[in-house]
Amino acid sequence: MTSAAAVDLTVQIGALRLRNPILAASGTFGYGLEFAHLVDLNRLGGFVTKGLSREPMEGAPAPRLCETPSGMLNAVGLQNVGVRAFVAEKLPVLRSFDTAVVANVFGYALEDYVEVIQVLGVQFGTDPRMVADVVGAARKAAVKRPLWVKLSPLVTDIGLIARAAEGVGADALTVANTYPAMAVDFRTRKSRLGSLTGGLSGSAIKPITLRLVWEVRKAVRIPIIGLGGVETVEDVLDYVAVGASAVQVGTASFADPRVSERLVDALTTVLEPAKACTLNEIRDRFLTENG
Ligand SMILES: Cc1cc2nc3c(=O)[nH]c(=O)nc-3n(C[C@H](O)[C@H](O)[C@H](O)COP(=O)(O)O)c2cc1C
């Protein structure tokens, strides 16, 4: 028997128990099904769908992606099939997999969030009162289903936003989204994206997001899912050290669609029973020494 069977990687996120702390991030893993021939979905802690809206959306003009040093810019424009098509066409197939499916939802008004969540059985996020309104309404619409709130990194005090979401019933917080950014070509006087600006992701953002996870950890007690530039098992453990219970993997899946599965293997090796170190210990030690 390999140590893989002996290492317990399960994590508890509110009422939800995940097989391990590695999830594929929203927008980089389609609706999961597109990756099913490449990745053993049942081995992941879970994955997060592309953002779902009330109506289908076509998204932004091409080019939508552009490489930058140590990262990339995207301006996909929230293209998606719409929540009804997701429920009718994708969800029935996804149910045959034994992995957590997290539906990422977005809207432009409070009612959008409520309707999308109701059909399923959150960039509204820069003002704590607005966050409390949206998350409070989402909480009611989600009834007893776990509700994770993904925070925008573009705020002055992320701790305030995190507390507002926790206060009205979020089960967990995902920290964080991409950072508004630009890449241009001065010769052609054009943006390198079809839209003028986009969102920066990848290893370039890891140190910035790592600090946000740390700030959120100090502000709330609910579990945190860290994401931003996770590529290696060291990245996973850095996020765990500053307070995350799990991580998501986004941009790294473009270079290697199987990276999440590889990270599960690498974690198993790093956390081998002989080394007697658990995710909780890594987090507790860091927090105790730097709290
Ligand atoms: C092409 C692309 C599309 C994305 N679409 C979404 C989306 O629909 N909803 C969302 O919440 N985040 C979306 N994101 C953000 C990612 O989920 C993640 O928060 C961000 O990329 C940071 O993680 P990373 O550095 O590991 O990529 C998208 C990211 C990329 C690169």
User: What is the per-residue pLDDT across 183-199, written as a single tens digit (0 to 9) for each?
Assistant: 999 999 999 999 999 99
| Distance in angstroms (rounded) separating the CA atoms of residues 14 and 38 | 30
Q: What mean pLDDT is predicted for residues 150-175?
A: 96
DSSP state of 52: B
Give residue 7's pLDDT.
84
Atom of ligand 1 nearest to the CA of 201: 25
Give residue 209's pLDDT.
98
State whether the beta carbon of 260 lies less than 6 angstroms from ligand 1.
Answer: no
Task: Flag whether pLDDT at 273 surpasses 80.
Answer: no
Least confident of 15-19, 126-130, 131-135: 126-130
Q: What mean pLDDT is predicted for residues 22-30?
A: 96
Atom of ligand 1 nearest to the CA of 251: 27
DSSP 76-127: --S-B--HHHIIIIIHHHHTTS-SEEEPPB--SSHHHHHHHHHHT----TTS
State whether the beta carbon of 66 lies less than 6 angstroms from ligand 1.
Answer: no
Helix orientation angle between 158-167 and 128-142, rounded to the nearest 10 degrees: 30
Give residue 2's pLDDT.
47
State whether the beta carbon of 90 lies less than 6 angstroms from ligand 1.
Answer: no
- What is the pTM (predicted TM-score) of this model? 0.94
The candidate with the shortest Cα–Cα distance to 41, out of 281, 253, 255, 290, is 253
| Distance in angstroms (rounded) separating the CA atoms of residues 107 and 51 | 9
Atom of ligand 1 nearest to the CA of 72: 31
Secondary structure (3-state) at 134: helix
Are β-strands 246-249 and 11-13 bridged in parallel, bridged antiparallel, or unpaired? unpaired
* Smallest CA separation from ligand 1 atom 23, residue: 228
Tell me the residue type at 148: W
Task: Flag whether pLDDT at 161 surpasses 90.
Answer: yes
> How remote is the CA of residue 47 from the centroid of ligand 1, in Å?
12
pLDDT of 45-83, one tens digit each?
A: 999 999 999 999 998 999 999 999 999 999 998 899 999
State whether the beta carbon of 150 lies less than 6 angstroms from ligand 1.
Answer: yes
Other Cβ atoms less than 10 A from the Cβ of 190: the count is 11
Give residue 129's pLDDT.
85
* Smallest CA separation from ligand 1 atom 2, residue: 27
State whether the beta carbon of 206 lies less than 6 angstroms from ligand 1.
Answer: no
Which residues, including other chains, have CB under 8 Å from residue 38's CB and lie 6 or more apart? Answer: 257, 258
| Distance in angstroms (rounded) separating the CA atoms of residues 275 and 281 | 12
Task: Flag whether pLDDT at 122 surpasses 50.
Answer: no
Contact 288, 61 (CB under 8 A): no
State whether the beta carbon of 223 lies less than 6 angstroms from ligand 1.
Answer: no
Which of 177, 210, 224, 236 for mutating ligand 1's site (highest number of atoms within 8 Å of CB)?
177
Structural domains of the chain in order of their starting residue, each with its CATH number: 4-57+81-177+199-290 (3.20.20.70)
State whether the beta carbon of 49 lies less than 6 angstroms from ligand 1.
Answer: no
Q: Which residues face 46 on adjacent strands?
A: 23, 100
* Smallest CA separation from ligand 1 atom 29, residue: 27
Which helix (H) or strand (E) element contains residue 175?
A: strand 172-175
Contact 90, 31 (CB under 8 A): yes
Task: Flag whether pLDDT at 5 surpasses 60.
Answer: no
Give residue 123's pLDDT.
45
Going by pLDDT thresholds of 50, 70 and 90, the confidence category of residue 274 is: low
State whether the beta carbon of 78 lies less than 6 angstroms from ligand 1.
Answer: yes
CA–CA–CA angle 14, 174, 200 (5° rounding):
165
Give residue 277's pLDDT.
77
